[in-house]
Amino acid sequence: MDKRLLSLVAMLLVTSMANLTYSQGVYISSAGPVNRSMGGASTAAPISALSAMYWNPASISGMENTELEVGVDLLFAEHNVTSTVGGTTGSTDADPGTFPVPNFAWTHRLQDPRFTFGLGVNSVAGFKTSLPASTTNPVLAPQPTGLGQITSEASFLQIAPVLSMAVTERMSFAAGPLVTTGQIGIEPFVFDSVNGDNTYSSGRATHYHWGGGFQLGTYFLMTPEWQLGASYKSKAWMETFEFTGADENGLPRTLTADIDLPSVLSLGTGYTGFDQWLFAADIRYFDYANADGFGDDATYDGTGKLGGLDWSSVFALALGAQRSVGERLVLRGGYSYNQNPIRESESFFNMASPLIYEHVLSMGGSYKLNEKVAVNVAWSHYFENTRTGAVILPGVGAVPGSSITNRLSADFLSFGIVMKQ
């Protein structure tokens, strides 16, 4: 890897860690504009370095000798919270903000042609929202009557070196470590005990926290037209997150929480039997129920500390199609369906992480500038979805006659460039 490539990786690391906190969804469903325009389907369709490295590293054995892909995502989200308590109803729009988030992937065929090395640097998970305190929206009334202002920023970046081996002309296997770093900020910080005046502190992570895991993949050419793929990302075992907060007197207070990313199993197929066409389909399983923080019970202990978000493990489906138009232009379209990990009964606990999208429609394309360079663009629309449940308070439980509704929709714009050697 030459100095220019090392410099690019360093720049992407810094930029991603600074701006990733916008990201929508705990596990981002696509990596780069090519993968996004295919609805995220790529476990058995290695048509870009980013998508291959993100969903099935074994498929890089079927790619060009050397490929570098860089992509940037922009998210535009709309989040609204409406609550009713004691006959009073109020509605508040959030301000999630918009930030650029880069992704990077590099693949290189080694001198022994059986082996291909890959390196991915991806924003893999996160969420962000900001709801101002309100005197008309009961749940956002100033503490301790309500929760007051609600803000959240969570960002997880994953560095993934991998080695893929073609064991035969039709089958390859890959393995590699996953190095994860993340930072979280939440206000009010409900994952630790209340202060002496019955209010929650805000919590900002003291530093980027680190964790590790591994990934495995296999890629199989069943026939010249049919491809199969499978991959597994282990849970990202993170160190305990430490946060800085303040007690009721404004004095510093240390807060803690255990939060891991879930394991992910992906199965996919690709078909190229029609001239100039590629079809791909993936099914994935996200094991949130066994990930610390996400899967822990959403119950308060005697100190007012919330145990977790009580998310369910879910399946996701991704479908994509690609059509080559002439020698330079490629058009793509995709659709994905995501089971909702947040049950209606847990709506109150997930105002700071309202990741409730289910249906996503995507489209995009690539244009070859020459034989070695192509530019990519994609757009995704996350259709509006809602979750409604009761307001649940420590020592009280569900407040009779209360309700809270999270409403979310979003759009993604993705841009990128691919360089082949």
Average pLDDT over residues 325-342: 91
Cβ atoms of 83 and 403 within 8 Å: the answer is yes
The CA distance from 50 to 6, in Å, is: 17
- Residues of the chain with pLDDT > 70, as a percent, come to 92
What architecture (CATH level 2) is domain 3-420?
Answer: Beta Barrel (2.40)
Q: Which residues contact 28 (CB under 8 A, 6 or more apart)?
A: 122, 123, 124, 125, 126
3-state secondary structure of 139: helix
Average pLDDT over residues 49-58: 92
Q: Which residues contact 106 (CB under 8 A, 6 or more apart)?
A: 1, 5, 49, 66, 67, 68, 69, 118, 119, 120
The per-residue pLDDT for 412 is: 87
Q: Which residues contact 123 (CB under 8 A, 6 or more apart)?
A: 16, 20, 23, 28, 73, 101, 102, 103, 155, 156, 157, 158
Q: What is the domain partition of the chain in residue ranges?
A: 3-420
Token pair, residue 65, equals 């000798």
What confidence tens digit (pLDDT) does each residue in 174-231 have? 999 999 998 888 778 777 787 887 788 877 777 788 999 999 999 999 998 999 999 9
Q: Is the pTM of this model over 0.85?
A: yes
Beta bridge partners of 353: none
Q: List the single range of 48-52, 305-309, 313-317, 407-411 with lowest mean pLDDT.
A: 305-309
The per-residue pLDDT for 337 is: 92
3-state secondary structure of 73: strand
The per-residue pLDDT for 281 is: 95
What confidence tens digit (pLDDT) does each residue in 284-318 have? 999 998 988 887 877 888 787 877 788 889 999 99
The per-residue pLDDT for 101 is: 74
pLDDT confidence band for 4 (50 / 70 / 90): very low
The CA distance from 50 to 103, in Å, is: 8
Instruction: List for the chain the helix, strand, coil content (%; round to 5).
Output: 10, 50, 35
- pLDDT for residue 11 is more than 70: no
The per-residue pLDDT for 409 is: 86
Instruction: Kindly report the average pLDDT of the chain as a whole number.
Output: 84
pLDDT confidence band for 99 (50 / 70 / 90): low
Q: Which residues contact 229 (CB under 8 A, 6 or more apart)?
A: 43, 44, 45, 56, 58, 59, 217, 218, 219, 220, 266, 267, 268, 269, 270
Average pLDDT over residues 33-59: 92
What confidence tens digit (pLDDT) does each residue in 14-28 have? 333 333 333 334 777
